[in-house]
Amino acid sequence: MTRESWQTRIGFILAAVGSAVGLGNLWRFPWMTSDNGGAAFLLVYLGVVLLVGVPGLLAEFVIGRRSRRNPVGALSDLSESSAWSAFGHVFVVTAVILLSFYSVVGGWILRYFAGSFTGAYFAAPGAYFESINYGVEAVGFHLLFLGVTALIVLRGVRRGIERATKLMMPAIVVLLLALAAWGVTLDGASEGVAFYLAPDIAFLQANFLNILPAAAGQALFTLSLGAGTMLTYASYLGEDRSLAADGTAIAVLNTFVGVLAGVVVFPILFALGVGAGGGGPGALFVSLASAFAALPYGQVVGVVFFGVVVLAALSSSISMLEIPVSFLVDEYGLSRRAAVGGLTGVFAVTGAVCALDQGVFGFVAGTLVDLLLTGGLVGFMLFAGWVLGADAVTELQGGSGPLARSLATPWLYAVGVFIPVFLIFTFVSGLADAAGVAVGPLSLLGVTLGPTRILLVVTAVVAVVSFLGLRRSRSVL
């Protein structure tokens, strides 16, 4: 099989940013932030993006560029182990789960896009969201969104995506800046700004363990990490790119759009008296729909804004669909048409379940995605650290400048040891949370350490042990 490669460096960066910037920034981020204490969440989230997101992105890049294969092929080729190959299949499942709920939200966006022309949601933005979010009509709009996604993937329009992203990204930023500037001048907006930007440290300390899994999950989701997307995109790269520089640029651009989305949503929510926590999955829809209803020329702004969100969502959903499509084409020799057709049939059903049942939707879009992406990224990192080892360092250094070269070995220890330990901790506490078990089992033994200190102690012990293991097993020093 001859593999394509990106035409330009900026083409790769924009495609990766196109995958990263999507509903995660514009819809899920405000939702997660409002559910988890506002600024306290933002602070933890930014820390995770920097310390986990960027190194994690590089782990996917390194595996992708080295193997030039889809996630399943990459893990089995580079390791020659059937266990890793089996693990690779998890990413196919993850893609199914992701696109199932993503397509439902994409359907909501399409509906708001259409509703902006007619002003359908203007009279009662809150009630409107409640009336369209789940049910038979939501299934219809989900199918529409899925159909557009499938058509684009069917045509293999990477160049189309690249071109669209170039127009989309500035448009998104300009519109968000304008909305933010307007939103913060509203009466009562300052409370929203404070909720979003001034962390309550006492709240943070008391709720750190609850915030952490959500912040880690969101950081991975928004960077498209742990699903194999970034791995696949990097498999089309030539050797001459600096993975570290590109990865940093992608993370910075993506974070900027996410943070900006919060600056738009929260002041408006507070000014309208909706407040935090009243947000949920509807935060973006209710707040912005209200804003557009109140704005002069709100209809026009609504059309443009939701149109842009549709594009951002599509450039992400395409990257989700491409993972299982490339897997079926590469590994089973299916035609692209058969792969897209079959998978679309599956997604039509799994998405419909999410569109009909609010409980299923909430679980899939929140907890399940957090867990799958966290588990997936841990797998990639351990693979880079323990299977590739010194080869991963070489791969990261290829095409890099002096700074990235000197950081390559510390990076390997971070992704091979420290970050997985941290993520496994958040994974376990996320699982415990989902099962309704309070975290902090040491309290049963009468130990009165605070949870944060337990985290530190456990992390330190496991990290030191595996650090020694990594040094002995594969000398990278």
Contacts with ligand PHE, residue ranges (CB under 6 A): 19-20, 22-25, 98, 221-222, 224, 227, 229, 316, 319-320
222 versus 400: smaller Cβ distance to ligand PHE: 222
Structure letter (DSSP) for residue 399: T
Its sign, for the CA torsion 413, 422, 232, 338, is positive
Q: How far is the CB of 100 from ligand PHE (least distance, A)?
A: 12
Q: How far is the CB of 325 from ligand PHE (least distance, A)?
A: 13
Angle value at C-alpha 156, between 153 and 161, nearest 5 degrees: 85
Q: How far is the CB of 221 from ligand PHE (least distance, A)?
A: 5
User: Which of 221, 230, 219 minimizes the C-alpha distance to 322?
Assistant: 230
Q: How far is the CB of 147 from ligand PHE (least distance, A)?
A: 19
User: Which of 14, 418, 103, 374 minimizes the C-alpha distance to 219?
Assistant: 374
Number of C-beta neighbours around residue 122 at 10 A:
18
| Rounded CA separation 78/73 (Å) | 8
| Rounded CA separation 109/79 (Å) | 42
72 contacts: CB under 8 Å, gap ≥ 6: 85, 88, 89, 91, 92, 327, 330, 331
Cβ-closest residue to ligand PHE? 24
19 versus 165: smaller Cβ distance to ligand PHE: 19
Q: How far is the CB of 174 from ligand PHE (least distance, A)?
A: 19
220 versus 289: smaller Cβ distance to ligand PHE: 220
36 versus 397: smaller Cβ distance to ligand PHE: 36
CB 100 within 8 A of CB 354: yes
Helices and strands in the chain: count of H runs, count of E runs: 24, 0
156 contacts: CB under 8 Å, gap ≥ 6: 336
CB 66 within 8 A of CB 390: no
Q: How far is the CB of 22 from ligand PHE (least distance, A)?
A: 2
Q: How far is the CB of 439 from ligand PHE (least distance, A)?
A: 26
Q: How far is the CB of 225 from ligand PHE (least distance, A)?
A: 7
Angle value at C-alpha 291, between 286 and 297, nearest 5 degrees: 135
103 versus 229: smaller Cβ distance to ligand PHE: 229
Q: How far is the CB of 316 from ligand PHE (least distance, A)?
A: 4
23 versus 180: smaller Cβ distance to ligand PHE: 23
19 versus 76: smaller Cβ distance to ligand PHE: 19
CB 397 within 8 A of CB 77: no
Cα distances from 309 to residues 66, 243, 248, in angstroms, run: 34, 28, 24
| Rounded CA separation 17/237 (Å) | 15
180 versus 314: smaller Cβ distance to ligand PHE: 314
290 versus 344: smaller Cβ distance to ligand PHE: 344
